[in-house]
Structure 1
Amino acid sequence: MALYPTCLRVNRNPLFVAYATLSTLLTGCALPSADVSTPTATASVPSAWTQPAPTDAPVVDLRNWWKAFNDPVLDALVQEANTSNLDLALSQSRLREARLASGRTAAQYLPSLSANIQTLQDISATDTYFHASIDMVWELGLFGAAQSARQAAQAVAAAAGADTQGVRVSVVADVVRNYLDLRAAQQQLVHLQRMAALDERALSLAEVRVRTHQGSADEVTQARLRIEQVRATQALLQLASANAAQALAVLLGRTSLDPVWHQTPVNHILPALAPFALAQVPADLLRTRPDVHAAEAEVHRAAAALGLARSELYPRITLGGSFLYAYNITRNFRTRSDNAPAIGPIIDIPLFDWGRRRTQVDIRQENLNAALINYRRAVHHGIAETEGALAALSAQQVRVDALTQAATLLGERTTAAQTQARLGLTSEYDTLARQRAQQQSLAELDMALSARALAFVALYKALGGAPLPKSESEDPAHAATLP
């Protein structure tokens, strides 16, 4: 290394030259922290789903999957939840806190300057002095300490970003689920109102049949029993509707319900799920599920903690410097003996600690091993959850198809009975039972459609579907990629 004349003129103090030489040599001591690459689970991730996935239809956007219901009210609710949900706001605040703490960690290994001004007396209390000093401290963070500290802070921020995205995924799924529960309850109430009208008509006809000695009293009892059963079911559905509406209000950060939620839509009450195709494969879970990103960030944090523990095995070196200006106020002159600048290293060398530092390294190594296991577990859990959602979606689709056929057959049967009644071949009382059976079948079909819609919600929640953060820095996938 060449020494320039200006440097030689400034640094003539032999002690300072020795100190500068030592500092130059120690610059090669910044050993890297634990060498842990980004964990992957490619070998343990299947190439395709074992459960059948929907195909031959438009692909649903993972970031706007709820729009497959084509419901403007639902779209507005999701948008409002993304801006007003209190859990999400709390998580975002914690994310900002983690990022601020990360920046503070980076400043830990930068030089710090402080100034101090004070007056004091000597031991004999005869003279009063004015002291003004400038102090400098610089912890070098050698042997990988600074790098590991930065990596740990970045990992904590990445984990906070993943947690925020996880809250966003849950909030969106809960909004859609509660909205579907609300509409499903309203749809079932419509079916019950129609069945109640049929039961009231059947009761009226049964009473006429008893008076005319064409029927038995048991027919009247059965009609009244069905009416009371419908009333009991209506009470449960009204409670379910109220609970779903209240849950929506909480998710939207509101204290009151929106009257629009209880208004019956002009067309079909239950949002219809459009045909869709699943484009995601198991490997996509590594970049879409927030819990996988959080587990990955924990691996980086554990690796950084291991690096810090290893750096404790080596000397800790801090550079310190001070310049003091002293003035004797009593005698009105500047002192010379206390005005010399002081600079030098502070070296903390570990000699003997009964194996405490080495044990700490072993502990951090086990923490890293556990973090890697937890990462693989998160991936496997995500695959299992998605497979379960696909299985539920497939089963509900089979159920919908079967109930659709049953409703069609019952509709044809009811139409035939009504035709016979118009021709005088059968009575109105006999057709009411078939009309009620048809209405019951339609109610079961709507319940199956609701269950299929909820399975769709569970599927895209398992896939980590949610809107992307407003800025790239909030993206957990971006934040988890540590330099």
Structure 2
Amino acid sequence: MAVPMPPLDRSVPAAWTEADPALALPAGPDLRTWWTAFNDPSLDALVDQALAQNLTLAEAGSRVRQARQLAQGVTASFLPSLSAGTRSVQPPSAQDTYLQGSLDAIWDLGLFGARAGATQRYRGGIDLALAEEQAARVNVVAEVVRHYLDLRTAQAQLAQAQAQLRLDERSLALIDARIAHRLASASERETVQLRQARTRAALADPLSAQAAAAHSLAALLGKTQPDPAWMSPAPPPVLAVRSIVQVPADLLRVRPDIRRAEADVAQAAGELGIARSELYPRVALGASYLVSYNLTRSPRSRFNTGIAVGPVIDIPLFDWGRRQAGAAARREALDAAVTSYRQAVLDGVAEVEIALAALQLQTERVAQLEAALRTVAQQRATHQSLVGLGLASEFDGLDDEQGALAADQDLVLARARRNLAFVTLYKALGGAPLPHDEAAS
């Protein structure tokens, strides 16, 4: 009389509506190794370290092993068990005192769905622990990638700020020379000085972001301090692949919250099976061998033995209403778990579609800024040619230099946002390596 798993609404769209066909490359990143699309060996090494050293993952692994041990315990609870014990007994007459020893065997048959319900509940507990472990892996991988990208972006912004300060210093020198020849006014110098002060003040933001990213990476790797090597400036990784090869149906297989919702359904079905079994008599087989020793009589009549074998039946009588109410409540809990599963599927599809749209918009923005930077570079090259021919001055090209630097700053920020959208997408897809046992299966 086990409660079968209710039918779950697994319907999803056949394809992503926000996916851009123009970006459909032959081979997109795999869910298990999606971060390799950045082509950064340092990032790959950090992800491997986090998967091996992260304390949250270690805790989740312990939870999985705990759930498996509990599942083994429920199987053993429906096998014959043997126990021995002693006790002191005195009858109401208080004339004799007995020391009794017994050897008892009991076998709970688990009828009317009790055994099946308990097994289903604890198997659902294992699935739930596995889903929680995978959720931790997805989150750890995404956080490592995000903080690494934040670190490299902050370092790039620091380098751009330093370049801005050097450009301002050169601008001041040229303006001073022009002021000396009465070709410029003091207001021009004050404008550059104001920009220089703002640039120095703005250095606090990337410095703070760099420190925060480094310490967050250290915590994810189980360390108390960041690795000094992380502070060596390096350019932000460039995303090599922008398409995805996963289809919506993959969410049902890998997304942790959907797996968690399905495990909740299995547990609720098991709980309902147990509640229904409690409406029927509990039947077990029992046997007992009793040895009684009278401490007050003569030695020849002190020992008595007895053997009892037969069924043990527990019939619900006066608490029938309570048990019925419990079964009805478990039925409602199962219905709620089924509804929650469907909501998890809908939420998963919506989250991926939103992430796809964001990635597409950020990709278009990067392309536009790259085109603008190429135009600025051509203007700078043309001006340098004129300077070489003596047809223009270095001072006349300061605006082009300033524009090129501003365009480069915008592009770094846009690429950072595009990279973050990519991370968000694969976190929504549930991308992360599987544990060894699941990968093997």
Question: What's the TM-score once normalised by structure 2's chain length?
Answer: 0.94
* Partner residue, 2:19: 52
- Please give the secondary structure, in 2, of the residue aligned with 1:181: helix
State yes or no: 1:140 paired with 2:109.
yes
- For the pair 1:432 / 2:378, whether they are aligned, the reply is no
C-alpha distance in 1, partners of 2:91/2:356?
83
Asked if residue 387 in structure 1 is aligned to residue 356 in structure 2, the reply is: no
Name the counterpart of 1:332.
299
Q: Distance in 1 between matches of 2:353 and 2:142?
A: 18
SS at match of 2:310: strand
Deviation at residue 137 of structure 1 after TM alignment: 2.1
Pairing 1:366–2:332 present: yes
Deviation at 1:466?
A: 0.4
Return closer, same or farther for 1:298/1:153 CA change in 2, 3 Å cut-off: same
Q: Which moved more, 1:274-283 or 1:300-309?
A: 274-283
Match of 2:256 in 1: 290
Partner secondary structure for residue 133 of structure 1 = strand
How far did residue 335 of structure 1 move? 4.9
**CA shift for structure 1 position 211:** 2.4
Q: Is residue 88 from structure 1 mapped to residue 57 from structure 2 by the alignment?
A: yes
Deviation at 1:139, TM superposition (A): 2.0
- Count of paired positions: 438
Structure 1: unaligned runs, 5 residues or longer: 1-31, 479-483
Quick check: 1:57–1:275 contact (8 Å CA) kept in 2?
no
Point out the more displaced range, 63-72 or 125-134: 125-134
Are the aligned partners of 1:130 and 1:328 in contact in 2 as well (CA < 8 Å)? yes
Distance 2:427 2:388 in 1: 52
SS in 1 for 2:435: coil
Following superposition of structure 1 onto structure 2, how do residues 111-122 of structure 1 map, counting pairs within 5 Å? 111-117=80-86
- Secondary structure of the 1:109 match is coil
Q: Secondary structure at the match of 1:361?
A: helix
Q: Is 1:34 the equivalent of 2:17?
A: no
Question: Aligned letter for 1:173?
Answer: A
Q: In structure 2, do the counterparts of structure 1 residues 124 and 182 end up closer, same or farther at CA, with 3 Å as the change threshold?
A: same
How far off its partner does 1:420 sit? 1.9
**Equivalent in the alignment of 1:97:** 66
Query: Residues 255 and 391 (structure 1 numbering): CA distance in 2 closer, same or farther, change over 3 Å?
Result: same
**C-alpha deviation, 1:129, in angstroms:** 5.2
Q: Does 1:195 align with 2:164?
A: yes
Q: Which string of whole-angstrom CA distances, capped at 9 and with x for unpartnered residues, describes residues 280-299 of structure 1?
A: 11111000101100000000
1:423 alignment partner, one of 374, 386, 389: 389
Deviation readout 1:397-444 (Å, 9 max, x if unpaired): 100110011000011111112222222322211211211210111121
Deviation at 1:449, TM superposition (A): 1.4
What residue in structure 1 maps to residue 155 of structure 2? Answer: 186
Distance (Å, rounded) in 1 between the aligned partners of 2:26 and 2:185: 55
| SS in structure 1 of the partner of residue 195 of structure 2 | helix
- Answer whether contact 1:58 1:276 (CA < 8 A) is retained: no
Could you tell me how far 1:82 is from its partner in structure 2?
0.6
Report if aligned partners of 1:191, 1:440 keep a CA contact under 8 Å in 2.
Answer: no
The CA deviation string for residues 27-83 of structure 1, in whole angstroms up to 9 with x for no partner, is xxxxx22222463412xx110000024312422121111111111111111011011
What is residue 420 of structure 2 aligned with on the other side?
454
Q: Residues 273, 57 of structure 1: CA spacing in aligned structure 2 closer, same or farther, 3 A cutoff? A: farther
- Aligned position for 1:252: 221
* Aligned equivalent of 1:313: 279
Counterpart contact for 1:327–1:333, Cα < 8 Å: no
List per-residue Cα deviations over 1:364-406 (Å, max 9, x = no partner).
1111111011001111111111111111110011001100110
User: Which stretch shifts more, 303-312 or 290-299?
Assistant: 303-312
Deviation, 1:307, is 1.1
Percent identity (aligned):
46
2:135 to 166, 170, 190: 166
SS of residue paired to 2:430: coil
- Report if aligned partners of 2:107, 2:284 keep a CA contact under 8 Å in 1: yes
Deviation at 1:127, TM superposition (A): 6.6
- Determine if contact 2:29/2:241 at 8 Å carries over to the other structure: no
Q: TM-score, normalised by structure 1?
A: 0.86
1:206 and 1:219 in contact (8 A); partners too: yes
1:413 alignment counterpart: 379
SS of 2:305's partner is coil
How far apart are the structure 1 equivalents of 2:224 and 2:42?
Answer: 19
Cα deviation for residue 123 of structure 1 reads 7.3
Q: Distance in 2 between matches of 1:69 and 1:318?
A: 62
Contact 2:359 2:422 in 1 (8 A): yes
Aligned to 2:202: 233
Matched AA of 2:103 = I
